Amino acid sequence: MATQTSACTGSTLLQPISEIINLPLDQVNFVVSQLFALLTAVWFRLYLHPSKTSPFIRHVVATLLGFYLALFCFGWYALHFLVQSGLSYSIMVFASLEHMHKYCFIVALGYLSFCQITRVYVFDYGMYSADFTGPMMVITQKITSLAFEIHDGLAKREDQLSPSQKYLAVRRMPSLLEYLSYNCNFMGILAGPTCSYNDYMAFIEGTSYQPRHADNANGHENGKYRQSEPSPKISVISKLASCAVSLAVYLSLCQVIPVERSIDSAFVSSTPFHLQVVYLYVAMLALRPKYYFVWTLADAINNAAGFGFNGYNKDGSPRWDLVSNLRILDIEFATSFKTFLDNWNIQTALWLKRVCYERCPINPTGATFLLSAIWHGVYPGYYLTFLTGVTMTMAARAIRHNIRPHFLGSDRHKRIYDVITWAGTQVAISYTVVPFVLLAVGPSIKFYRSWYCCLHLLCLLLVLALPVKPRHLRPREPSPRLQSDGLQAPHAGGHAITDNNCNRKDKAT
């Protein structure tokens, strides 16, 4: 039966539809709001184009529509978005530039944690209905990212910044309207994704299509840069098709293959261990399409509004992946723990790298996993997942540095290595995220016991047995085609080059 209306703090207008299709009202409100945002995005791109209206009007409309969707889905809980943004903006304006970014980081993350704690432990433990803290997580990323970007742009010298930080640095304090539009626009208020402030302002002002490098060979005709804007139609249609497939797979399999069966005593006692491993992999495979649907739909909404253009491919076709949050094929065929994480929730990984990993002087990998756990929420399962993730990352790094070189002598050996590491990665990921799904300590420990904590012990053994040289003593890998990466993102400049390079070499999350 459909969820009671009391579980939803937003609008009850769609309650009859919720009862007919037998889905909770808050989920119906969310999907309908996102579909409304998709149609609005098309109107926004066509009728409020930068050539037809001013940035002021575009900011106002994007902000008001965002607040409307938030009120429709979450009711008065949407006021938390304004409170969090207002407190952080006050700090940006009145605090000293030297420490402003630290204060914003503490206040924004602290307010998010306060809301998560009260929602989980005061109101309803395990309640997902009307979870207003989901949008707050994205707003927290935007607030903290912008605070660091303003600090880089106004309080640091050029020689103190990395190439990507130079591109992301904000050189003037945003107005209140610009700030609210960036945080709460209708394209990303419900499901994100996070984007840089400079990229968002370029979209609002209509400069995101302009090439910035004279040596750019992509996107030009007869030696002259193409001035017409690329259409996002093909990208939007393909992403909506992916959404439809993901939703169909999730609704078909999520109830048939629940993860919770992995800790059922009868299932564990009657199923051989190797079949338990296969079942866990399939159960996690059936769970991921839910995230594919939400993130791909959010990406399509941004593209439909004209946001997300990321240069041209080698064949001249436009790329619309600037704010994409995942690469599905790279996730499903990942051959390492790092590759999986690099292609899962991409914008959050970039946020963690930019605000924590690149700036933390002590144990940046551990600090990054800790920040990720705090940001996700207060369920104990989150912390068990990220603690396990630290050991998995260290073990995967040890395997890569000590074992992988022995398989690079021939293509056949490399294919064998890829098959083995693909299977190991999928099992390791499934094992790691079980507490993230189960949430509570008791069921999570019960699962680990049923597996005899085998992967924990194996990872610890690998870390102790296989030495990994410090980063500054490792031989440098041949540089990828930086020029090619840069050409594919003409409006991102060194930003794309640096992030791609960091993803391949330096990023641990």
**Residue 70: both structure tokens together:** 């938030």
Q: How confident is the model at residue 233 (pLDDT cuts 50, 70, 90)?
A: very high
User: Does residue 42 contact residue 62 with C-beta atoms inside 8 Å?
Assistant: no
Instruction: Flag the least confident range among 135-144, 167-176, 500-509.
Output: 500-509
Query: CA-CA distance, 72 to 76, in Å (whole number)?
Result: 9
* 193 preceded by a cis bond (ω within 30 of 0): yes
Of the residues 218, 302, 310, 345, only one is catalytic, namely: 345
The tens digit of pLDDT for each residue in 376-413 reads 988 999 999 988 988 898 898 888 888 888 888 888 88
User: Does residue 49 contact residue 58 with C-beta atoms inside 8 Å?
Assistant: no
Q: Which of 450, 413, 430 is nearest to 337 (CA)?
A: 430
Query: End-to-end distance of the chain based on CA atoms, in angstroms?
Result: 40
Helix (H), strand (E) at residue 225: strand 224-225
Instruction: Flag the least confident range among 95-99, 128-132, 232-236, 242-246.
Output: 128-132
- Our answer to whether residue 303 is catalytic in this structure is no
The tens digit of pLDDT for each residue in 34-76 reads 999 999 999 999 999 999 999 999 999 999 999 999 999 999 9
Which CA distances in Å does 287 have to 283, 339, 404? 6, 19, 31
- Indicate the DSSP class of residue 312: B
Amino acid at 466: L
Backbone phi, then psi, for 220, in 5-degree steps?
-130, 155
Q: Which of 46, 41, 96 is nearest to 69 (CA)?
A: 41
Amino acid at 256: V
Of the residues 376, 456, 491, 495, only one is catalytic, namely: 376
- Our answer to whether residue 220 is catalytic in this structure is no
Contacts 24+ apart (CB under 8 A), 29-36: 29/72, 29/73, 30/73, 30/190, 33/69, 33/72, 33/73, 33/190, 34/190, 34/191, 34/297, 34/298, 34/301, 36/69
What is the pTM (predicted TM-score) of this model? 0.85
Question: Would you state the pLDDT for residue 23?
Answer: 83
As a whole number, mean pLDDT of residues 145-151 equals: 96
Buried b (16+ CB within 10 A) or exposed e, 235-256: bbeebbebbeebbebbeebeee
The length of the chain in residues reads 509
Q: Which of 206, 204, 170 is nearest to 185 (CA)?
A: 204
